[in-house]
Structure 1
Amino acid sequence: MQRKNLTEVTEFIFLGFSRFHEHQITLFAVFLILYTLILAGNAIIVTIIHIDCHLHMPIYFFLSMLASSETVYTRVTIPRMPSGLIAQNQPISFSGCTTQMFFFVTLAINNCFLLTVMGYDHYVAICNTLRYTLIMSKRVCVQLRCGAFSTGPAMAAVQVTSIFTLPFCHRVVGHFFCDILPIIKLSWFDTTVNEIISFVVRLSVILVPMGLVFISYILIISTILNTTSAEGQKKAFATCASHLTMVMVHYSCASTAYLKPKSESSVEQDLLLSVTYTIITPLLNLVVYSLRNKEVKDALCRAVGRNIS
């Protein structure tokens, strides 16, 4: 097939959840409520961390960065989900799809490395307690944040460029946003090299941070078990519980969605996984670090108490 005989694709059309038309009203209400909860919850967390001096610590500095990143992350992908249930076959321009994918990949990578940085903070707090304030200085925290936030755009640029230099012969996307694999499937060209590049990037941004977190927790657990005080062990494990829960949920979803064999992929499965890592994961992160975090709950109580007074 000659490329000159193909019509140039200038826009893509999302099918989204059109195959679930009998549940449109229910899905619309659920997605809208969850999206509102995520935005409101992250806004509250960022505000509380900013105004409460008790939370002016490195771990909450990184948590506010994660909440801010996830706010934009969900803003990039979720709004088209409920609107697509009302106006089906929504179009998006070629440049709009490129931009959406760039920001989606950038923010997803940022979140991976922010979780790694938070793991490093826990490692220093438990394994180098006496030197914690020296190691995790304000300057170091800013450097770690900049490092996490600079990795995303660089790797996203490589991945997005490799995909959108392909010629496309189809414009109907069986998805609700411009995700990596659904867009690659639309090209008539041999995408082997592009898929390899994409897979290497995905492998790097999932396995490298996950490996660093794994090493951190091996050292953390080793240190905790060597602690003679049972009360000290309980407190140390409680400190890590929230972060470890977030890490397990985040990386298990990311690994399942982006490292599974291509042969095992289906439209329904991809949609379910996409809902999981664009809505469920940010919502769980929010719950874990608010409803299950004593310091954040205490800060909320103090803020509510001041307002009532």
Structure 2
Amino acid sequence: MEPGNETRLSTFLLLGFSEDPALQPLIFGLFLSMYLVTVAGNLLIVLAILSDPHLHTPMYFFLSNLSLVDVCFTSTTVPKMLVNIQTQSKAITYAGCITQMYFYLLFGGLDNFLLAVMAYDRFVAICHPLHYTVIMNPQLCVQLVLVCWVISVLHALLHSLLVLQLSCTHLEVPQFFCELNQMIHSACSDTFLNDVVIYFTVVLLGGGPMAGILYSYSKIVSSVRAISSAQGKYKAFSTCASHLSIVSLFYCTGLGVYITSPITQDSHSTATASVMYTVVTPMLNPFIYSLRNKEIKRALQIFLGRKT
């Protein structure tokens, strides 16, 4: 998206949530707190998993990757917003905007694919327990993560290159970061191809992993129903409850952003969905996983006790 001939500006203006100066300290404090909690919580999960040999399993390998991606995902958008509030500026450079959009798409895509991989891991663990260690071997786990990275990089690169072909004269973005849909519809050139690619990738790269998750859990439910003991059923479902909670929150907010933002004029509803997607979900992930997981709790207690 190149600035048009009508302007020499090389910056975009991120309008954020409110222009009321009285609300800026409140917004700054709220987002700073959520950002620090997100970074601290997810890094603690990663460090606890790395420090406990009992957690060196496929399930926790994928969880540690998800936690690292969540830190990067939030760090793509929130720090710039905090700097803008602190400096009382709404500006972001053209290069900075494109870069922010690229990494936002990259880490959002990684979250999406890792959640699908984690569902497959649970499917193998519950439906094929005797072959779990053979199927989910370390080599396959690394390959699955690498495939997630490759697809996410190509997906983000595709959208970024298409946006670079657009021209614009309207440099105000009604968001707190350079979100893809808002960037496209700030352009003055034809965006038909961009819209088609967005919906195509949402269906393919969003619907594909979602279909995989639904298939995995349909098989898991069938297997759990065949378990005779109530304790066995509870244990099987408890290993999936945290993942299901995160999946529901991630997809509901994510699809809300990408489906409604091209067709609605209400920037406040889009911004609210974006906050849930980019800030709240990554912040809640470590709490949801740790509160429902005794092994993570124990690893955190050992890790924190060792540090004190």
Shift of 1:218: 0.2
What is the rounded CA distance, in whole Å, between the counterparts of 2:307 and 2:8 in structure 1?
58
What is the rounded CA distance, in whole Å, between the counterparts of 1:116 and 1:9 in structure 2?
42
Deviates most, 211-220 or 223-232: 223-232
Trace 1:262-273 onto structure 2 (pairs within 5 A).
262-273=262-273
Match of 1:134 in 2: 134
Give secondary structure in 2 for the equivalent of 1:28: helix
Shift of 1:257: 1.1
Shift of the 230–4 alpha-carbon distance from structure 1 to 2, 3 Å rule, reads closer
Match of 1:291 in 2: 291
Q: Is the 8 A contact 1:14 1:173 kept in 2?
A: yes
> Is 1:63 the equivalent of 2:63?
yes
Shift of 1:5: 5.1
Match of 1:97 in 2: 97
Higher RCO (CA 8 Å, separation ≥ 6 residues): 2
What is the rounded CA distance, in whole Å, between the counterparts of 2:30 and 2:4 in structure 1?
45
Give secondary structure in 2 for the equivalent of 1:12: strand
Shift of 1:17: 2.6
Query: Which digits, 9 at most, give the CA deviation of each residue in 1:170-198, with x for residues without a partner?
Result: 11212111111111122111211221112
What is the rounded CA distance, in whole Å, between the counterparts of 2:12 and 2:27 in structure 1?
23
TM-score when normalising by structure 2: 0.94
Q: Is the 8 A contact 1:9 1:169 kept in 2?
A: no
Shift of 1:307: 4.2
Shift of 1:291: 2.4
* Amino acid aligned to 2:215: I
Unaligned segments of structure 2, at least 5 residues: none
Give secondary structure in 2 for the equivalent of 1:40: helix
Query: Which digits, 9 at most, give the CA deviation of each residue in 1:211-261, with x for residues without a partner?
Result: 110000000000000111211111101111111111111111111111227
Q: Is the 8 A contact 2:16 2:175 kept in 1?
A: yes
Q: Is the 8 A contact 1:13 1:92 kept in 2?
A: yes
Give secondary structure in 2 for the equivalent of 1:175: coil
Match of 1:86 in 2: 86
Unaligned segments of structure 1, at least 5 residues: none
What is the root-mean-square deviation of aligned Cα atoms in Å? 1.7
Match of 2:27 in 1: 27
Match of 1:192 in 2: 192
Shift of 1:303: 2.3
Shift of the 91–297 alpha-carbon distance from structure 1 to 2, 3 Å rule, reads same
Match of 1:229 in 2: 229
**Same amino acid, percent of matched pairs:** 37
TM-score when normalising by structure 1: 0.94
What is the rounded CA distance, in whole Å, between the counterparts of 2:211 and 2:72 in structure 1?
26
Query: Which digits, 9 at most, give the CA deviation of each residue in 1:22-75, with x for residues without a partner?
Result: 322221111111100111111111111111011111010001101111111111
Match of 1:49 in 2: 49
Trace 1:116-135 onto structure 2 (pairs within 5 A).
116-135=116-135
Trace 1:166-177 onto structure 2 (pairs within 5 A).
166-177=166-177
